[in-house]
Structure 1
């Protein structure tokens, strides 16, 4: 390689390095961000529905336990009332008696019709026989409806799940006596939300539709920057113990426990700060550094990591121009 070629190659390398530095440079300037506060949220179900007994009696069978998945209309328990069997037997006996009366009334009507046709019977006797048969038939109809009512009450001994979801608690055991309307189990519907409580001084900053950041499924103080987006779906108008209660909708809560706690970051206003991409910050001997364009190293104090950007609490001034750690 001659001297001219070497000079051209050196100039090309220097130009590419300068271009890389120019591309990697970052100008520090203040940015306005939302000031976020970490609050504890608890996993709750949108609706907690009780499965109630429709008749009184004794619980003879429980088909679910805490944690069981159920579908709407599924039988979760059976209740038996011994009096219903006695009522059904009484109705059956009365229907048998009315059947005998119906046969007798039919015989009487047939005889009256024959006598009337031969001229030996009166029209009044025929009308009376026809009316007696009609009364017996209507009584049979009423008794049949009464028997169906008893059977329906017997069928209502099956306690049905009111919705799709998970059994949160079972309030009875087999063999206990329950009254009509008594809760047998509580069903948590499949739709889960996060319920947060925000201090009163921050109440004016939270509203329906706001975006919040939800931490990982852990009570650890270090979330590794892994945050999920959630949306405020409801803000309750009544304060409780000086706190505003709100519901946050976030995906992926189906396998959480009801009552499990998660950290949620909510907006409490805005402020100005320095945001720096994390690749411009490097550590050495427990300290965090950045490199200015003139390759001077400066110690900085980074804050929380937000979307691959560190909030720089101290060490930088507006207008500083930085280059990457490897430059």
Structure 2
């Protein structure tokens, strides 16, 4: 029974030195960065779609049997290339008939002119009455009109015969053929024979909210408007397309249903490579595909950039903590711009040169004194990477981190 108080006393004496080591804590250690102005390429991201500049539906201009398809589906064609051929003999016969009618009308006209000349001579000699001359003149005019009508029929027959060769009106890629040879085609068909879309350049069509449109206008108007921006796109595989585009059209009306504004840009769409057979290679952009659109400044501009982790948020909005001359943390409301990887652009709230807390924010409150060190630096007493470990003593003889050996 006597040993119990003695054991408790010894235990308290053993713990007394350890308890004596704890004292009042100093200012919390934080990592800081300097808010510096750096050249930044401003960018805004939207969702868009690729569209062909020209899109043509190929249709028959005359009615007839489809005789030949002169292209391979999916290939690129040139303006003037023959795509389809319609059976020609009926149209050749119609042309010959029209030419015959024109020849007959021409002969009638020549006969009417001879009769008119004879009536004039008789009238001049006094042997022919005036009524004969008037009739001859009317017949000559009627015959002349018939010649003009017959010539028009010849021209129409020639045009119809030319329409039996259906040619491409533009350069582009042609899709699948809706009708195969042997079918009767006509201008009244609901479906086109095929569709051609131009390939280079392509359009990038996207919409932006009216508020964003005002912000972009205020940002780039002093620098040259649309000439101060370029358009880049990211394809569905996450890769940035290497070609740059330029804005060619901004709609004149805001969509009342969505409060958005339509914008179109032109972007090159060159061939990827030449085919193994020496033919045309494929192209990356396809009419109708979805892409991510980036509207970027043509030239970098100086802007204040800090780590994104340094920005806090509460009901009052975004803010950062800066270290003042008294080594105290102070709250600064900020306006954020674009995010570039782990960095964020500060549009307002900082002037540049401020010391911003980027590490240890959870230990700091506004107005509190802090112990600032450059962000990313090792804490005091820690061993730098690659440095040899400190020598260890025997049991109970170790040296505290950062301490000295006697």
Q: TM-score, normalised by structure 1?
A: 0.54
Match of 2:262 among 245, 248, 255: 245
Greater Rg by CA? 2
Aligned to 2:201: 191
The 1:196–1:160 alpha-carbon spacing in structure 2 relative to 1, beyond 3 Å, is same
Residues 122-156 of structure 1: per-residue CA shift (max 9 Å, x gap): 999xx9xx99xx99x96778656644532332112
Cα gap change, 1:244 to 1:320, in 2 (>3 Å): farther
| Cα separation, 2, equivalents of 1:227 and 1:98 | 66
- Paired with 1:149 and 1:81, the residues of 2 have a C-alpha distance of 15
What are the residue-to-residue correspondences of 1:194-273 with 2, within 5 Å? 194-206=204-216, 209=226, 210-212=228-230, 214-220=232-238, 229-236=244-251, 237-239=253-255, 241-252=258-269, 255=283, 256-266=285-295, 272-273=304-305
List alignment gaps of at least 5 residues for structure 2: 1-32, 113-117, 119-126, 218-224, 272-282, 309-338, 346-357, 362-371, 378-384, 386-406
CA contact (8 A) 2:59 2:187 kept: no
- Cα distance in 2 between the residues matched to 1:98 and 1:212: 65
Q: Check whether the contact 2:231–2:296 (CA below 8 A) recurs between aligned residues.
A: no
The farther-off stretch of 201-210 and 255-264 is 201-210
Instruction: State how far apart, in whole Å, the 1-side matches of 2:69 and 2:189 are.
Output: 17
Larger displacement relative to structure 2 (68-77 or 171-180): 171-180
Matching residue of 2:334: none
**Contact 1:219–1:261 (CA under 8 A) maintained in structure 2:** no
Task: Single out whichever of 310-319 and 149-158 deviates more from structure 2.
Answer: 310-319
Q: Distance in 2 between matches of 1:82 and 1:161?
A: 22
Relative to its length, the structure with more strand (as a share) is: 1
- Which residue of the partner structure matches residue 161 of structure 2? 154
Instruction: Find the aligned partners of 1:149 and 1:248 in 2 and give their Cα distance.
Output: 42
RMSD between aligned residues: 5.2
Residue pairs, 1:293-312, within 5 angstroms? 304-305=340-341, 311=343
Unaligned runs of 5+ in 1: 1-26, 106-111, 113-121, 277-302
Distance (whole Å) between structure 1 residues aligned to residue 106 and residue 43 of structure 2: 81
- CA distance in structure 1 between the aligned counterparts of 2:61 and 2:360, rounded to whole angstroms: 71
Match among 39, 45, 52 for residue 46 of structure 2: 39
Q: Which residue, out of 306, 319, 326, partners 1:274?
A: 306
Note if contact 1:72-1:161 (Cα within 8 Å) is conserved in structure 2.
yes
Deviation, 1:192, is 0.8
Distance 1:163 1:123, change over 3 A: same
Q: Is the 8 A contact 2:231 2:247 kept in 1?
A: no
Q: Give the secondary structure class of the aligned counterpart of 1:149.
A: helix
Matches within 5 A, 1:80-159: 80=87, 84-85=91-92, 87-88=94-95, 90-91=97-98, 143=150, 146-159=153-166
For the residue of structure 1 that corresponds to 2:245, the secondary structure is strand
